[in-house]
Amino acid sequence: MKSRAFALMTGALICVFSAPMWAQSGSQWVDIKNANELRDLYSNKTFRGNGWVGHYRADGKGILIRAGREPEPRTWEVKGNDWVCGAASNQPPACYRFQRNRTNPNEVLATSVNTGRSYIFKVEDGIPEF
């Protein structure tokens, strides 16, 4: 009985102390829901993620470089006011919604429209020739 009470109390404490973190993380990100801002996010920008770098031109072309793989040409386009869809050659497009970090606008959270999977990356101005 003591172990059950301990487990319940531990679970309650985790919930109490985690709630402020959930609220803070939700308010930390600001939705990008403007087609022009989404175009600006991709136009002549470099994205740096964990184990990958993407370079995207304003004309809708890009290149994705992942560790241990050949560079992959990409295309991208804004869909509506809140999605960007991109694809490698001969693959269906993957579409994402984006949010900026409130305190560091160069940090972006991308969430897949199809899978709900999210990841964070840094955005930098400028791209190399490709």
Tell me the whole-structure pTM to 2 decimals. 0.76
Q: Does domain 32-125 have CATH number 2.40.128.640?
A: yes
**What is the number of helices (H) and of strands (E) in the chain?**
2, 9
Please compute the mean of the pLDDT values over residues 73-91 and round it to a whole number.
94
Q: Per-residue pLDDT tens for 15-52?
A: 333 333 343 455 899 999 999 999 999 999 999 999 99
User: Distance between CA atoms of 51 and 127, rounded to whole angstroms?
Assistant: 18
User: Distance between CA atoms of 92 and 99, rounded to whole angstroms?
Assistant: 23
Task: Give the residues across from 45 on adjacent strands.
Answer: 56, 125
